[in-house]
């Protein structure tokens, strides 16, 4: 009995909509052993049952000829209802001429009056339910659960089919990204973040319908849109933003588009990668909201792939060279060499000199920056020791510590071991930590800084003023030196506000009793003003460009003016 109850609970529900009692009873007799049966005597009752009944209904058997509301009207109303539109409907009719109209309106099959043999009715019912449930399962597996757009795998399959059957039509693969979406979630909560993703998906689905395309959610905050080629992408960006604002009241997010135009017969995954590549290139731009892939982007991508491929070999072969830029103390009447900053250069055996501006962002993105930083730390520590032995001079060297380094739980031991192995003291290796690394400051970072200072390392805050939380950085962290972002030096005579800011930073440093460095100094006018503001140390081309170690040694004992 217990097993029978379980089976009964698992029975699917069928709604019979039929005004003739005898027909109701015949159908109940045929179906009731395998299904739970609900009955409506007319169309109005049927719609009310669909509206109020709590259990899912797997199939509707619908008579077309009924009083109050005929079956055609019921069929139309059900197909307009988003909650019930996918329930399969088998129509019951004695009029052959009605079958085509019913099928056109969305019926999946029909049963004729007088009724067919019991086995035929059961077969039609079972097959209709089976096909419907399989279709639901397939549809669910094809789509992103949150946004109801295609997942990446199915999207690629459909794009491939479109390209196959619609050759020689120019298409656009567009990748959309929400700028700094993690911050949106932090500010407004995950529920609002999910709502924004759904709204963006809806806007893209509208665009896809208009432009004969399809939409996918590739990953967390990335969407792909495959549509007929457009000539005006400014209009596309404006439409997305306006629809988000006007239809969904969302105006506090920034979207960026990467666009790759193709003429079919191209690997779909490559098209997506190229659109995403140019989308990512503008993710930090404040003025550019779409980027179009071109041949230069392809060359740039191949160049980056080669740099990534050659990285480990370059480390092993010491293709990376450490240059040193002098940091000059301008306190008092005589200027003197106070320390140096270690700056990395790559002398590639095939490509020659490669700008740090090319490879450092690349390695920051893929994680190789940690290994490169450690390479520089080792080279700088060895150089300090070499100058001690060679010239009996202890010249501190500043090295960069990236944000990725600060989230390595072994960072303190790694730096401390480098110092021990090289035979120098911790206070001779200055650690420059970019201010932006503190924007999402955590107890972990504060703890690392305190441990390093306890061991004797000097902490410098680099690029001060370039981030969004400068004053908060000063209030929460322990450090020994403040390094003004070079943009302030470049712009200090362009307007009074910038000049005043340069002076205010000096006042802050003196109040906190920390040293103050200005980098990017190129003219005597800048130098004189910074000395007037009581800056401690100057770095820049006015005194020297970064130099290889043998040329840097020529600065020992030199007078600076």
CATH number of the CATH domain containing 383: 3.20.20.450
Mean pLDDT (whole number) for 457-462: 93
Q: Write down the pLDDT at residue 10.
A: 60
CATH number (domain holding residue 35): 3.40.50.2300
Minimum mean pLDDT among 20-24, 259-263, 269-273: which range? 259-263
Domain coverage including residue 465: 302-555
Residue 560 lies in a domain: no
**What pLDDT, on a 0 to 100 scale, did the predictor assign at position 551?**
96
Last residue of a domain, one of 270, 293, 316: 293
Q: Pick the residue with more confidence: 58 or 298?
A: 58
Number of domains in the chain: 3
Greater pLDDT, 264 or 191: 191
pLDDT at residue 449 tops 70: yes
Q: 434 and 358 in one domain? A: yes
- 509-542 pLDDT per residue, tens: 999 999 999 999 999 999 999 999 999 999 999 9
Residue 500 lies inside a defined structural domain of this protein: yes
Do both 480 and 384 map to the same domain? Answer: yes
Average pLDDT, the chain: 89
Domain end, chosen from 251, 267, 293, is at 293
561 in a domain, yes or no?
no
137 plus 157 within the same structural domain: no
CA dihedral (19, 23, 25, 29) positive or negative = negative
Cα–Cα nearest to 450, from 470, 431, 429: 431
Task: Give the confidence band of 436 by pLDDT, cuts at 50, 70, 90.
Answer: low
Question: Among 326, 348, 350, 355, which Cα is nearest to 338's?
Answer: 326
Kindly state whether residues 72 and 196 are assigned to the same domain.
no
Q: Which region among 1-15, 110-124, 228-242 has the lowest average model confidence (pLDDT)?
A: 1-15
Please check whether residues 203 and 224 belong to one and the same domain.
Answer: yes
Is 207 inside a domain boundary? Answer: yes
The Cα 278–Cα 301 span in angstroms is 10
* In-domain check, residue 147: no
Q: Are residues 310 and 288 located together in one domain of the fold?
A: no
Model confidence band, residue 9 (pLDDT cutoffs 50, 70, 90): very low
Domain end position, chosen among 249, 274, 293: 293
Structure tokens at 230: 């457009």
Q: What is the pLDDT of residue 480?
A: 94
Q: Which among 63, 212, 208, 82 is positioned nearest to 149, based on CA atoms?
A: 208
Instruction: Write out pLDDT tens, residues 77-101.
Output: 998 888 888 899 999 887 777 888 8
- What percent of the chain has a predicted confidence (pLDDT) above 70? 94
Instruction: Tell me which residue of 510, 438, 427, 508 sits closest to 477, measured CA to CA.
Output: 438
* Co-location of 94 and 238 in the same domain: no
């Amino acid at each position: 009995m217990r097993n029978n109850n379980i089976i009964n609970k698992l029975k699917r529900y069928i709604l019979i909509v039929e005004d003739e009692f005898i027909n109701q009873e015949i159908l109940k007799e045929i179906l009731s052993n395998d299904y739970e049966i609900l009955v409506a005597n007319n169309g109005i009752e049927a719609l009310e049952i669909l509206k109020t009944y709590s259990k899912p209904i797997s199939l509707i058997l619908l008579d077309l000829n009924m009083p109050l509301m005929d079956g055609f009207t019921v069929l139309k109303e059900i197909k307009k209802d988003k909650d019930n539109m996918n329930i399969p409907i088998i129509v019951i009719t004695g009029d052959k001429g009605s079958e085509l109209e019913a099928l056109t309106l969305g019926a999946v099959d029909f049963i004729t009056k007088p009724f067919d043999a019991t086995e035929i009715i059961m077969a039609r019912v079972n097959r209709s339910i089976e096909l419907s449930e399989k279709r639901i399962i397939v549809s669910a597996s094809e789509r992103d659960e949150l946004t109801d757009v295609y997942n990446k795998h199915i999207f690629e399959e459909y794009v491939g089919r479109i390209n196959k059957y619609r050759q020689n039509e120019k298409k656009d693969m567009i990748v959309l990204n929400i700028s700094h979406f993690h911050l949106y979630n932090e500010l407004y909560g995950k529920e609002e973040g999910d709502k924004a993703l759904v709204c963006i998906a809806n806007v893209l689905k509208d665009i896809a319908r208009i432009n004969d395309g399809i939409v996918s959610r590739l990953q967390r905050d990335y969407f792909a849109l495959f549509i007929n080629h457009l000539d005006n992408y400014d209009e596309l960006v404006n439409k997305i933003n306006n629809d988000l604002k006007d239809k969904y009241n969302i105006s506090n997010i920034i979207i960026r588009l990467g666009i790759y135009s193709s003429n079919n017969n191209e690997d779909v995954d490559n098209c997506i990668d190229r659109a995403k590549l140019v989308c990512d290139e503008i993710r930090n731009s404040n003025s550019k909201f779409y980027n179009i892939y071109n041949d230069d982007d392809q060359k740039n991508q191949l160049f980056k792939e080669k740099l990534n491929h050659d990285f480990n070999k370059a480390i092993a072969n010491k293709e990376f060279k450490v240059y040193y830029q002098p940091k000059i103390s301008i306190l008092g009447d005589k200027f003197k060499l106070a320390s140096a900053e270690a700056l990395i250069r790559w002398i590639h055996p095939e490509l020659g000199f490669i700008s740090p501006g090319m490879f450092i962002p690349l390695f920051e993105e893929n994680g190789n920056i940690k290994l490169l930083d450690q390479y520089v730390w080792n080279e700088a520590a060895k150089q300090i020791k070499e100058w001690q032995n060679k010239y009996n001079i202890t010249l501190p060297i500043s090295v960069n510590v990236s944000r990725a380094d600060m989230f390595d739980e072994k960072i303190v031991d790694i730096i401390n071991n480098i110092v021990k192995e090289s035979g120098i003291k911790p206070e001779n290796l200055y650690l420059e930590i970019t201010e932006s690394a503190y924007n999402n400051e955590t107890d972990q970072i504060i703890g690392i800084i305190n441990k390093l200072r306890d061991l004797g390392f000097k902490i410098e805050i680099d690029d001060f003023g370039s981030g969004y939380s400068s004053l908060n950085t000063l209030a929460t962290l322990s450090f020994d030196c403040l390094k003004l972002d070079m943009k302030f030096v470049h712009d200090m005579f362009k307007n009074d506000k910038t000049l005043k800011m340069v002076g205010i930073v000096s006042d802050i440093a003196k109040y906190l009793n920390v040293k103050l460095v200005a980098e990017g100094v190129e003219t005597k006018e800048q130098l004189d003003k910074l000395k007037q503001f009581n800056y401690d140390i100057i770095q820049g081309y006015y005194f020297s460009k970064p130099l290889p170690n043998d040329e840097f040694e020529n600065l020992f004992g030199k007078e600076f003016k």
